[in-house]
């Protein structure tokens, strides 16, 4: 039974790791923390991100044999196994010996830091703003967002109590050199109240996020989905909204001038922030949509041709580990910057019992099957009354800021989900809203954490670098030790015995063994990297 001191120590370690407040006591490994410009190309490196168990060797329990109990026939089989397959057994005792079995570790997310809003409704044509998409594109940060037009008539459609705006908003544009200082340029493209002196680019934007498509033709470089009524010929007499609405494609050569295409792509009432992208690994267009199965659900579809989509199928929906009152509201799909094979969802979770909305994280390595990193929010609500204290909706896309931080835009309100009715009916309800950044230190969305003592080994990978760097944080008394192995055997000179422990907090620290850090002699070898963690969290490993 744990003593009060054990519980106090455990809580201190967990809180220190979670908060990231551990002081840097000793750096027996030297740190390298250069700041790269947002436009600079990343260094050539192989990176392993520990947001799941993908890079972790599962290990096994290997049989041990008692030589006194081996039969004559068994000895013949052992000789055959050794001669023909090189298979040997530990013959010191009867039982099992763990080999590379991970222990004492778990995956935990990093709770995002949140900025103050950097985009607000501050123009005469902006009653409110929402649904902001940010891309780092053409050497700058570009943002497309929905602006509700205060003097334009709003038209809505309703399906099973769910409303979707048809008219009354326009897609607007802003840009920034650094992700902090934003401008809303006058583009003279759309008229509002008789003037084109505004940053509006198209009225065809409902229900979609902008993405850049370098796979498609140049005149359709930018794309998004638009929610609208289906062609009259396709609508049966007396059809419900479910059968009357769907998604169309809208394209642009430059992100400014947009064209709506007349053929519907999805014939379904997919009523909230649908996201599409070109997946360069699958070499297909992928789409993430609103669906309904046991409440609001995330669905998915893929296609070779952006103009021909199959019916989306449910992907994630509330299960037995969810609260019974939870819905999966928006999907927040994005790929990890520079890692197209790591796909992420940042779904907004609507809690019907509190009317609040916060954001979780799910990951996928194949782009088709997703698993939760945690059921706890990775972007939590602000304090009650704060501009983001009522509801938060993540937006695409995950980008890097000039200081290497990861950043995801989010739309937030001081009101809960259904308090919008009060705003609509009461007039001036004191609603605060805007777009801000959820940020994480470089490559720190989640990591492998050992509250006390933990160990694991990475799957083997060809080493083509000069040094190995880790991204880690420890408590004051914690440490990370590293051993290199080839075919399961420690590499001489690079064992745990020679390893110089790391303690502190660094996103890029070079591993050392008795003062050695240049691993050029190991290039071309398939290495396994074993880690010992003591009260530590490991986020990433790099062959630099």
Highest mean pLDDT among 62-66, 128-132, 459-463: 459-463
| Angle (CA) 488 106 510, round 5° | 60
Q: What percent of the chain has pLDDT over 90?
A: 72
Closest CA to 313 of 324, 302, 327, 325: 302
State the pLDDT at residue 155. 57
- For the ranges 42-51, 57-66, 241-250, 519-528, the lowest mean pLDDT is seen at 42-51
Does domain 4-59+446-543 bear CATH number 2.60.120?
A: yes
Q: Which residues on adjacent β-strands are paired with residue 135?
A: 142
Question: What burial letters (b/e) apply to 4-25, b meaning 16+ CB within 10 Å?
Answer: eeeeebeeebeebbeeeebeee
What stretch(es) of the chain map to CATH 2.60.120? 4-59+446-543
| Distance between CA atoms of residues 286 and 333, nearest Å | 10
User: What is the mean predicted confidence (pLDDT) over 210-218?
Assistant: 96
State the pLDDT at residue 476. 96
Closest CA to 120 of 411, 420, 429: 411
Beta strands in 311-405 (DSSP E): 313-316, 326-328, 333-336, 339-345, 348-351, 356-364, 371-379, 391-394, 399-400
Question: What SS3 class is residue 424?
Answer: helix
State the pLDDT at residue 45. 82
State the pLDDT at residue 490. 96
pLDDT tens track for 156-165: 555 555 555 5
Looking at 2.115.10.20, 3.30.1220.10, 2.60.120.260, 3.40.50.300, the CATH number of the domain 113-440 comes to 2.115.10.20
State the pLDDT at residue 295. 86
What letter does residue 383 receive in the DSSP assignment? Answer: S
State the pLDDT at residue 157. 57
| Distance between CA atoms of residues 203 and 218, nearest Å | 22
Q: What is the pTM of this model?
A: 0.88
pLDDT tens track for 360-399: 999 999 999 999 999 999 999 999 999 999 999 999 999 9
H/E element holding 236? none
Question: What SS3 class is residue 251?
Answer: strand
Determine contact, residues 483/497, Cβ cutoff 8 Å. no
State the pLDDT at residue 320. 93
pLDDT tens track for 171-206: 999 999 999 999 999 999 999 999 999 999 999 888
Residue 401's region, left for phi above 0, alpha for psi from -120 to 50, else beta, is beta
pLDDT tens track for 312-360: 999 999 999 999 999 999 999 999 999 999 999 999 999 999 999 999 9
Question: What SS3 class is residue 239?
Answer: coil
Work out the pLDDT band at 30, boundaries 50, 70, 90.
Answer: very low
Closest CA to 39 of 141, 173, 164: 141
Question: What burial letters (b/e) apply to 491-500, b meaning 16+ CB within 10 Å?
Answer: beebbbebbb
Work out the pLDDT band at 421, boundaries 50, 70, 90.
Answer: confident
Work out the pLDDT band at 109, boundaries 50, 70, 90.
Answer: very high
Whether the predicted pLDDT of 236 surpasses 90? no
- For the ranges 95-104, 267-276, 347-356, 469-478, the lowest mean pLDDT is seen at 267-276
What stretch(es) of the chain map to CATH 2.115.10.20? 113-440
Kindly state the tokens that stand for 401: 């800021």
Whether the predicted pLDDT of 154 surpasses 70? no
C-alpha distances (whole Å) from 522 to each of 494, 528, 540 are 11, 12, 20
Mean pLDDT of the chain: 89
Residues 6 or more apart whose Cβ sits within 8 Å of residue 33: 506, 507, 508
H/E element holding 425? helix 420-426
Residue 282's region, left for phi above 0, alpha for psi from -120 to 50, else beta, is alpha
């Amino acid at each position: 039974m744990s003593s009060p001191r054990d519980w106090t120590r455990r809580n201190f370690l967990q809180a220190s790791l979670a908060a990231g407040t551990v002081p840097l006591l000793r750096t027996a490994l030297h740190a390298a923390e250069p700041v790269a410009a947002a436009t600079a190309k990343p260094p050539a490196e192989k990176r392993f991100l520990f947001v799941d168990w993908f890079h972790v060797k599962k290990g096994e329990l290997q049989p041990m044999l008692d030589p006194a109990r081996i039969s004559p026939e068994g000895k013949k089989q052992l000789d055959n196994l050794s001669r023909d397959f090189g298979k040997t057994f530990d013959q010191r005792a009867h039982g099992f010996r763990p080999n590379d079995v991970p222990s004492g570790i778990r995956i935990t997310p990093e709770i995002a830091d949140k900025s103050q809003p950097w985009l607000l409704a501050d123009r005469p044509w902006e009653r409110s703003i929402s649904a902001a998409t940010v891309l780092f594109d053409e050497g700058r940060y570009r943002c497309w967002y929905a602006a509700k037009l205060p003097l334009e008539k709003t038209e809505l459609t309703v399906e099973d109590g769910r409303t979707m705006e048809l008219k009354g908003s326009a897609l607007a544009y802003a840009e920034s050199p650094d992700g902090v200082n934003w401008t809303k340029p006058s583009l003279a493209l759309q008229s509002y109240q008789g003037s084109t002196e505004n940053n509006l680019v198209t009225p065809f934007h409902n229900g979609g996020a902008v993405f850049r498509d370098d796979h498609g033709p140049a005149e359709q470089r930018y794309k998004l989905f638009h929610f609208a009524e289906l062609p009259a010929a396709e609508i049966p007499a007396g059809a419900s909204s479910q059968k009357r609405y769907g998604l169309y494609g809208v394209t642009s050569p430059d992100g400014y001038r947009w064209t709506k295409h007349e053929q519907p792509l999805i014939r379904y009432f997919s009523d909230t922030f649908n996201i599409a992208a070109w997946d360069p690994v699958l070499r297909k267009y992928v789409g993430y949509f609103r669906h309904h199965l046991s409440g609001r659900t995330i669905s998915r579809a893929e296609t070779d041709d952006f103009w021909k989509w199959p019916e989306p199928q449910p992907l994630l929906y509330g299960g037995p580990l969810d609260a019974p009152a939870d819905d999966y509201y928006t999907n927040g799909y994005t790929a990890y910057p520079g890692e197209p094979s790591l796909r992420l969802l940042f779904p907004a979770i609507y809690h019907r019992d509190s009317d609040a909305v916060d954001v979780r994280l799910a990951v996928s390595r194949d782009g088709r099957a997703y698993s939760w990193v945690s059921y706890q929010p990775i972007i939590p609500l602000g304090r009650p009354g704060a501009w983001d204290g009522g509801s938060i909706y993540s937006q695409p896309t995950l980008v890097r800021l000039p200081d290497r931080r990861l950043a995801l835009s989010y739309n937030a309100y001081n009101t809960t989900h259904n308090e919008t009715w009060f705003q609509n009916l009461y007039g001036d309800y004191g609603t605060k809203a805007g777009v801000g950044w959820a940020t994480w230190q470089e490559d720190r969305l989640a990591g492998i954490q050992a509250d006390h003592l933990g160990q694991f080994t990475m799957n083997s990978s060809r080493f083509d670098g000069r040094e190995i760097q880790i991204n880690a944080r420890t408590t004051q008394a914690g440490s990370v030790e590293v051993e290199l192995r080839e075919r399961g055997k420690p590499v001489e000179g690079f064992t745990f015995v020679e390893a110089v422990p790391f303690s502190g907090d660094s996103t890029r620290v070079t591993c050392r063994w008795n003062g050695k850090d240049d691993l050029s002699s190991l290039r071309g070898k398939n290495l396994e990297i074993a880690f010992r963690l003591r009260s530590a969290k490991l986020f990433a490993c790099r062959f630099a």
